Amino acid sequence: MAQIRCIGVLTSGGDAPGMNAAIRAVTRAAIYNNLKVVGIKRGYYGLVYNEMEEFGSKSVSNIIQQGGTILKTARCKEFTTPEGRAKAYENMQQSGIDALVVIGGDGSLSGARIFAEEYDIPIVGLPGTIDNDLGGTDETIGYDTALNTIVEAVDKIRDTATSHERLFLVEVMGHMAGYLALNGAIASGAEAAIIPEMETEIDQLGDLINRGFRKSKNSAIVLVAENPATGGALGLAQRIKEEFPEYDARVTILGHLQRGGSPTAADRILASKMGAQAITALLEGQRNVMIGTKNGELVYVPFSKATKHSSTIDRGDMEIVKILSI
Ligand code: ATP
Q: Are 144 and 316 in contact (CB under 8 A)?
A: no
- Is 46 near ligand 1, meaning CB less than 6 Å away? no
Decide the pairing of beta strands 123-127 and 167-172: unpaired
- Is 129 near ligand 1, meaning CB less than 6 Å away? yes
- CA-based nearest residue to 140, from 108, 172, 113: 108
pLDDT exceeds cutoff 90 at 162: no
Q: Are 12 and 102 in contact (CB under 8 A)?
A: yes
- Is 15 near ligand 1, meaning CB less than 6 Å away? no
Beta strands in the chain (DSSP E): 6-11, 36-40, 52-55, 99-104, 123-127, 167-172, 192-194, 220-225, 249-253, 289-294, 297-302
Relative to the CA of 15, which ligand 1 atom is closest? 3
Tell how far CA 309 is from the center of its chain.
Answer: 13
**Beta-carbon neighbour count of residue 255 at 10 Å?**
11
pLDDT, residue 215, reads 52
pLDDT exceeds cutoff 90 at 299: yes
The percentage of residues in the chain with a pLDDT greater than 70, rounded to a whole number, is 98
pLDDT, residue 216, reads 56
**For 188-206, what is the mean pLDDT?**
92
The percentage of residues in the chain with a pLDDT greater than 90, rounded to a whole number, is 85
**For 206-230, what is the mean pLDDT?**
82
Q: For residue 128, give the DSSP letter.
A: B
pLDDT exceeds cutoff 90 at 307: yes
* DSSP codes joined into one string, 190-221: -SEEE-GGGTTT--HHHHHHHTTGGGT-S-EE
**Beta-carbon neighbour count of residue 75 at 10 Å?**
15
pLDDT exceeds cutoff 70 at 214: no
Q: Whose CA is nearest to atom 12 of ligand 1?
A: 13
What does the pLDDT look like over 247-263, one tens digit per residue? Answer: 889 999 999 999 999 99
- CA-based nearest residue to 208, from 236, 181, 186, 174: 236
Least confident of 49-63, 183-197, 204-218, 304-318: 204-218
Determine which one of 131, 133, 144, 267 is catalytic. 131
Relative to the CA of 109, which ligand 1 atom is closest? 6
Q: Are 134 and 216 in contact (CB under 8 A)?
A: no
Q: How far is the CA of 74 from the centre of ligand 1 (A)?
A: 9
What does the pLDDT look like over 68-121, one tens digit per residue? Answer: 999 999 999 999 999 999 999 999 999 999 999 999 999 999 999 999 999 999
Mean pLDDT score of the chain, rounded to an integer?
94
- Is 13 near ligand 1, meaning CB less than 6 Å away? yes
Q: Whose CA is nearest to atom 25 of ligand 1?
A: 111
Confidence of residue 217 (pLDDT cuts 50, 70, 90): low
Tell how far CA 220 is from the center of its chain.
Answer: 27
- Is 113 near ligand 1, meaning CB less than 6 Å away? no
Cα dihedral 214, 218, 219, 220, rounded to 10, equals -30
CA distance 24 to 246: 53
- Is 85 near ligand 1, meaning CB less than 6 Å away? no
Q: How far is the CA of 12 from the centre of ligand 1 (A)?
A: 7
pLDDT, residue 109, reads 98
* DSSP codes joined into one string, 281-309: HHHHT--SEEEEEETTEEEEEEHHHHTS-
- Catalytic-residue membership of 248: no
Relative to the CA of 133, which ligand 1 atom is closest? 2
pLDDT exceeds cutoff 70 at 167: yes
Q: Whose CA is nearest to atom 24 of ligand 1?
A: 107
**For 276-297, what is the mean pLDDT?**
97
- Is 197 near ligand 1, meaning CB less than 6 Å away? no
Q: Whose CA is nearest to atom 9 of ligand 1?
A: 107
Confidence of residue 1 (pLDDT cuts 50, 70, 90): low
Q: Whose CA is nearest to atom 10 of ligand 1?
A: 13
- Is 18 near ligand 1, meaning CB less than 6 Å away? no
CA distance 41 to 284: 26
Q: Are 173 and 130 in contact (CB under 8 A)?
A: yes
Q: In what order do the strands lie in the sheet with 52-55?
A: 52-55, 36-40, 6-11, 99-104, 123-127, 289-294, 297-302
Confidence of residue 288 (pLDDT cuts 50, 70, 90): very high
CA distance 88 to 17: 27
What does the pLDDT look like over 138-158, one tens digit per residue? Answer: 999 999 999 999 999 999 999
pLDDT, residue 154, reads 97
Decide the pairing of beta strands 167-172 and 289-294: unpaired
Q: How far is the CA of 104 from the centre of ligand 1 (A)?
A: 8
Least confident of 1-10, 190-199, 210-219: 210-219
CA distance 208 to 190: 12
Relative to the CA of 106, which ligand 1 atom is closest? 7
Relative to the CA of 74, which ligand 1 atom is closest? 18
